[in-house]
Every structure is written in C-alpha cells, then in structure tokens.
Amino acid sequence: MVARLSIRVHARGIVVLAWLCAAAHAQTSEQGLASWYGAPYDGQTAASGAVYHQEELTAAHRTLPFGTAVRVHRTDTGASVVVRINDRGPFIESRILDLSTAAARRLGMLESGLAPVALEILELQEAVAAEVRGLFAVQAGSFRVQANAERTRARMEQLFRSARIVTSAAGFWSVLVGAVSTQSEAETLAAAIRKSAKEYGAAFVVRLAVSPLSVSE
C-alpha cells in the first residue's frame, strides 16, 4: 500500500512524510464496528469545516487526516464502499467509524445500525506540514448534556491542566484533554486519564481539527 500526497515539501517534511506512510500502513488493518449518522445532522458543519450531507460518501474517524480516502469492507457480507474522512468520531469506545447515510446504505446496515468492518486507506490528502503541529488530544468523555461535560472538563483541568469542550455535528459535548504532537504522547496521556478514575476508563485518542497551512513547493 502506498499513501499518495497531493503536495510537495522541503527537508523537514521528509521525516513527516515517512511517519505518515507508516501511520497509514498501521491503519490499514484497523477493524471494528461501524455506525452511521443521518438526517438530524444533515446540513450541519462537520469537524473539518465542511458541511455534512448525508447522501455523500463520507465518514467520521478519530485520528485519520481529513480528506483521507478509505475503503470500508464489511467483514460479514463482503460489501464495500469508499468514503472520505470529513468529521471526528465515533464517540463510543467500541466503534471505529461513523458513516454517512449513503455509505451505510451501500453496506446494507441502515436497519441494523452497526456492522463489523475493516478499513483500507487508499489516499492521504491533508497537508504534511499540519502533521508537525499539536494534532492529538484525548477524549475523556462525550455527553448529550452540557452540564455533565462541564463537570468532566473541570475535573480534567484540575488533574491535567488543559481541557476544553467541543461540540460535534452528531450533537455531542465532548471533553478533550491536552494537545500533543504525536499519537504516542497522546496514548500515554490517555493511559494516565484512564487510571485517574473508573469513569474515565473509556478515554481514547483523537486527532484535533486544524486550519489548512500553506506549504512551499
């Protein structure tokens, strides 16, 4: 598998490019449950800044760069669909991908709501320069009620100094902790958060949304 990038970079980007290709290779074998989200969020702004349209072939993933093309294989039926990552999620630990209505229809999972899938990365498109910034955080919790998110944010600030609340097109109030430059650092932070209290046992790493950067060619 070869990760193709739509930009060229100078010396500093070479190391980052190598890291990106390794990360993409690691993600190729990712397997788990996919869910989907539809009409209530149609027309809302996704984490990437794009407008979510339920009839487009898109998906939400916790860490893959926005614009990444992913082939989603349903492991129990063999059905597959290619989607672009344009949002962050899912917000439930056991799930790895949140599909648009159109993508879920292609996989025949509208009625069941969930399906076992394997992900195959086809193309990475996010600017390489963005990868050297603090792009990773840990989601300590996600809530339908804002007051619950506020309590968790206050606790995370007390324990780990940095915490904030973000909202999603799916209607959740999520508490994110930290902002670090590598996924390994974020995994270390996630482990510390999970150990801090039983209610944070489902904390996991997410990639932060960033504004596009200009890159010299």
Q: Which two tokens stand for residue 87?
A: 């949002």
User: Residues 4-26: pLDDT tens digits?
Assistant: 333 333 333 433 444 444 444 44
CATH number of 132-207: 3.30.70.1070
The ranges assigned to domains in the chain are 11-129, 132-207
Give 88's pLDDT tier (boundaries 50, 70, 90): confident
CB 104 within 8 A of CB 55: no
Q: Which two tokens stand for residue 198?
A: 């039983």
DSSP tag of 182: S
Q: Which range, 59-68, 104-113, 128-137, is most confident?
A: 104-113
Give buried/exposed letters for 71-92 (b at 16+ CB in 10 A, else e): ebbbeeeeeebebbbbbbbbbe
Would 11-129 and 132-207 be classified into the same CATH topology?
A: no
Residue predicted with more confidence, 1 or 147: 147
DSSP 3-state assignment of 213? coil
CATH number of 11-129: 2.40.40.10
Give buried/exposed letters for 16-27 (b at 16+ CB in 10 A, else e): ebeebbebbeeb
Give 169's pLDDT tier (boundaries 50, 70, 90): low
| Pairing relationship of beta strands 58-60 and 204-207 according to DSSP bridges | unpaired
